[in-house]
Amino acid sequence: MSAATADPIAIAPSPAAFGPNGSPRSYAVRTLGCQMNVHDSERMSGSLEAAGYVAAENAEDADVIVINTCAVRENAANKLYGNLGRLAGVKREREGMQIAVGGCLAQKDQGEIIEKAPWVDVVFGTHNMGSLPTLLERARHNAEAQVEILEALEVFPSTLPTKRDSASSGWVSISVGCNNTCTFCIVPSLRGKEKDRRPGDILAEVQALVDDGAVEVTLLGQNVNTYGVEFGDRQAFGKLLRAMGEIEGLERVRFTSPHPAAFTDDVIAAMAETPNVMPSLHMPLQSGSDTVLKAMRRSYRSKRFLGILDRVREQIPDAAITTDIIVGFPGETEEDFEDTLRVVEQSRFSSAFTFQYSIRPGTPAAEMDGQLPKEIVQRRYDRLIELQERISLEENHAQIGREVEVLVSVGEGKKDAATLRLSGRAEDNRLVHFTVPDSAESPRPGDVVTVRVTGAAPHFLIADDAAAYTVRRTRAGDAWDRRQAESCGVPASPASTAPRAVGLGMPTVRTSADG
C-alpha cells in the first residue's frame, strides 16, 4: 500500500465560504484536459461544497472560479491564460471574486502563473487538491495570492469529498502517477510515481457509488493495467475486474487507459469472462512505426500491439477498440508515417484520438533533433484523419440492423433538440442517437433503452426503428429523479415510477464528435 492514506478526509467549514451577509458564496469549476482531470474536478467541487460553498446556477456569476488545467498539449497554456485574461475584467467589476488555478499546468508552472496573471488568488497542484478551501480562506484573509505546490501526494484524491456530475456513472481512481518515461509526456513529472490504492478501498468506493444509484463505473489510472505494481501483484488488475463482477447492481464497468506493454492475457480473460465488463477497450498506439515507438520509449512494437488486438477480438468478438495516435514526432519519416497508416488499417479502430506532436518543455522529445515543419505534420495528420474517418464509418455501418442497449445520458447529443432524438452510450461505448416513438415512454437519464440501429456516421449511430424500442427503468434513473427533485427543493419519492420527460443541459464529458 502506498503512503497515501485511505481514510476519508474531512473538510472543515470555511469562513471564506460565506459572504458579508452570511449567505454562501458560489463556485464554478472549469475543466481542461483528460478524464483524470474531470474526476479531479469532481473532488474539487466536493471539497468546496463540504467547506460551505454552493454551485453557481450560472457559472459566469460565480464568486469563485476554479480552473483545473492540463499540461499535455501545446495549447494548454494558451487556453489557461486566455481564460484568465477574460476573467480579469470580470473580477475588477465584482468585489470579493476569487480565481484559483489547479491541476497539471499549475504543478508545472507554479509561481509563474501569478507573475503572468497577478489577479489570480490561489495556485495549487495535483498533489494537494483538498487544500483548496483553506487556500481560498488564506488568500482572502491575507489579501494576497497563495501558491502551494506539493512535490508528493498529500492524500489519495478519492479520499476527498466528491460531487459527481452524473447520477448513473462514476469515475473511480485505482492509481495515480506513472512509472513510464515516454519522451513526449510530462505527466510523470507532474503526478509523480505510481501510487496504488488497496483493492478493498476501491471496491468500497464502487459499492458506495452503486448504493447511491450508479450503474456504471470507469476505473482510472495513468496506466490502469499496471495496477498492483506497488504491492507486487502483476495480476492485480485482472483480479480487480473480476471482483467488479461480484458487485450486485453494477451493470457496466470500463477502464482507461491501459499501456500495451503491460497488457496481459489474464486481463483479456477477465474482460471476456466478467459479464459487466463492457466490450470496449481504449488501447493507445501512439505510432505504428517501430523506429518512432523506440524514440518515444514506448516499450512495445507494432507486432505486439496488433497481437493484443487479435487476442481481444478472439475472446470478445464485438469489442470496439479506440486509440491515441501522435503524428509528426521528431524524426518521423514518410516511411514511418506509412507504417502508422498500415497499422491503423489493420487495427480497424472504431475511433481514434489523433494529435499533432507539439513540443512540451521539460520532456526529452522537446530537445530531440528532427523537429518537423508544421506543414508536413499537417498533411500527414489530414491523411490519417481521412483514413480513420473511413474506417470508423465502415465499422459503424456494420452495426446497422443490430439491437443495442443504450444507457441514456444527458447532453451528449448537441442536435437532439432539433432532431427530437435522445442520446446515450451502447455497451461498446458507441454514441447512439435514438428516437422515442410517439406515445412511448420517455426514458430518464440513467435508464436503459433497447433500440435497433438504422443509420451510421463516423462518430455515432442512429436508431429510429420504433418497433424495436423498449425502456428499462433503473435505479440510476430513480437517482436522477431524486437529484432533480432535490435541486427544486421538492422531496422525491424513492419508488416513483411515473414517466418523466428528459431535461437537457447537465454537464457531461465529450469523447467524440456528435451529429
What is the DSSP secondary-structure string of 187-216? HHHHH-S-EE--HHHHHHHHHHHHHTT--E
- Say whether 461 sits in a helix, a strand or coil: strand
**How far apart, in Å, are the Cα atoms of 368 and each of 77, 158, 227, 377, 462?**
22, 37, 31, 16, 46
Mean pLDDT estimate for the chain: 87
Choose the most confident range, by mean pLDDT, from 190-194, 228-232, 444-448: 444-448
Residue 365 has pLDDT above 50, yes or no: yes
Which range (45-49, 167-171, 503-507) has the least confidence?
503-507
Residue 169 has pLDDT above 60, yes or no: yes
Residue 499 has pLDDT above 60, yes or no: no
Contact criterion met (CB below 8 Å) for 84 and 120: yes
- Say whether 157 sits in a helix, a strand or coil: helix
pLDDT at residue 374, rounded to an integer: 95
Indicate the pTM of the whole model: 0.77
DSSP-derived secondary structure letter, 24: B
Amino acid at residue number 336: D
340: which residues sit within 8 A by CB, 6+ positions away? 285, 287, 288, 289, 292, 325, 327, 384
Contact criterion met (CB below 8 Å) for 41 and 34: no
Spacing of C-alpha 303 from chain mean position: 29
Three-class SS of 415-444: CHHHHCEEEEEECCCCEEEEECCCCCCCCC
pLDDT > 70 fraction of the chain, expressed in percent and rounded:
89
- Please, which pLDDT band fits residue 157 given cuts at 50, 70 and 90? low
Contact criterion met (CB below 8 Å) for 463 and 422: no
Residues marked as binding for [4Fe-4S] cluster?
34, 70, 104, 178, 182, 185
Contact criterion met (CB below 8 Å) for 51 and 39: no
Q: Shortest CA distance to 169 belongs to which of 206, 202, 222?
A: 206
Three-class SS of 211-256: HCCCCEEEEECCCHHHCCCCCCCCCHHHHHHHHHCCCCCCCEEEEE
List pLDDT tens digits, range 105-143.
888 887 889 999 999 999 988 777 878 898 999 899 888
Helix axes 265-273, 236-244, angle to 10 degrees: 0
Region label for 96, one of left (φ > 0), alpha (ψ between -120 and 50) or beta (otherwise) = left
Contact criterion met (CB below 8 Å) for 365 and 183: yes
In angstroms, the CA 187 to CA 177 distance is: 8
Cell numbers at residue 186, please? Answer: 510530462
- Please, which pLDDT band fits residue 414 given cuts at 50, 70 and 90? confident
Residues marked as binding?
34, 70, 104, 178, 182, 185
DSSP-derived secondary structure letter, 448: E
pLDDT > 90 fraction of the chain, expressed in percent and rounded:
61
